[in-house]
Amino acid sequence: MIAVALRNLRHRPGGFVATFLSAFLGAALLMAFASLLDTASGVDAAAGHESLTTTATVGGGWCLIIVAFAVTSTLTLAIRQRDQQIALLRSVGATGPQLRRMIVGEAVAVALVASAAAVPVGLVLGRVLVGLLHDTGQVATSVGAAFGPIALGAGFGVTLLGSLVAGVAAARRAAGHGRRKQRPRLRRLGAALFLLTGANCAVLTATLMYGKGIDAMQTAGQAGIWASIGLALLAPELLRLVTAVLSPLVRLFGAPGELALQGPRLSSAVMPVLLFTGIATGTVYMQGIEDRAAAGTTQPGYAQDIQTLNYVVVGLITVFVAIMLVNTLIAATAHRRREFAQQRLAGATRGQVTAMVALEGLLITVTGVLGGLVAALFTVLPFGSARAGRVWPDASPAAFGIVAAIAVMLTATALLRTARRSVRGPATAAVRS
């Protein structure tokens, strides 16, 4: 079955694009931050050893969580979209262990290729990070960027491990439990653990970090990230709730509205929207609160380190999550070409199918943006209390509006462009494909 896996990769490369991009971008980010530890290994305290290690551990830790989650969710989505192929292999005699070996072999092969391709990108990003630390005076200009075993080990290790775990989990469902009803208990338990971790960080920020100045950012930022992941794991439940609330409005659009409400629940598409909104909103408002609180005061020497770290880490993670958002939406929508064709054969027009996808995008975006807003509050409220002495900070809603607008634009563009391409050509040909 390993040979079958390699032939699948060679003859069906399009089916693995989404997984490859997530693994590639994730490995590049991890290598970039881990390379700072390679650089720090030959640097003394006076030249910026602490700044290098702080940026690497905090930034790399945040990236590790997001990247592992992204790679796992994308690979799981890709495997779920191959039900017909797996059913065909099972019908011709493939056993459960053989199917598991095929799926895991594909996952590992994609991860290896993606990690290898990410090496030069990680090298360049690592040099950019060192350059930023040079520019802000946190690292001596005489320190040169290094890229060695720590960077390679982190990039290859995390990407391979995440892909392997996701491949095993997806293979068990596809090969051994394909006909059993999926039990969401484990997913909900994981969501509860992430949310409790986020709540714990929020409480620590509002209590132990009260009056500690910029140090409160360390726990406040983590609170929003943990909460974002926890709520993302609850995407199916959140999407059902939003759909139930907005169903009267959606039905006003007639046939497209009814199709949108009866169609598959694209909860996997909610996850990147929620992560993007939650992480970006939480960090932007946290930095705004800090800027206002620090105005006219003397800050400790490491304050510049933390501010630079926030901007760099959030910038890189936000770009990664935005690409993951578009990547996931395109993969989920393109897979529905046969479904769209069947709807057209049943009487729906191309315009109605496209309108249906647009309404689904509305439900996805509303769920992701509202969930992200809730996740961001895990960062904003406790940090506002600890840093500014007030739970609800004096901040404009404009920043959240901009983040939400970007999420809407990315979601609408990815969904509608893919849907329009998917409904081109005769419906009969799409059904037979």
> pLDDT at position 182, please?
55
Q: Count how many residues are written for the chain.
A: 433
Say what the pTM is: 0.79
> pLDDT at position 197, please?
94
In whole angstroms, what is the distance from residue 268 CA to residue 233 CA? Answer: 9
Q: Long-range contacts for 238-246 (Cβ within 8 Å, ≥24 apart)? A: 238/270, 238/274, 238/367, 238/370, 238/371, 239/265, 239/266, 239/267, 239/270, 239/363, 239/364, 239/367, 240/265, 242/363, 242/366, 242/367, 242/370, 243/363, 246/362, 246/363, 246/366
Q: Would you kindly state where each structural domain of the chain is located, as residue ranges?
A: 1-182, 183-433
Residues of the chain with pLDDT under 70: 1-16, 79-88, 92, 94, 170-171, 173-183, 263-265, 296, 298-305, 308-310, 313, 427, 429-433
> pLDDT at position 179, please?
46
In whole angstroms, what is the distance from residue 298 CA to residue 249 CA? Answer: 53
In whole angstroms, what is the distance from residue 56 CA to residue 403 CA? Answer: 26
Q: For the segment 206-238, what is each residue's pLDDT rounded down to a tens digit?
A: 998 888 777 788 788 889 989 999 999 999 899
The residues, any chain, with a CB within 8 Å of residue 2's CB and separated by 6 or more, are 101, 102, 105
**409, 325 Cβ separation under 8 angstroms:** no
Backbone φ, ψ for residue 141 (5° rounding): -65, -20
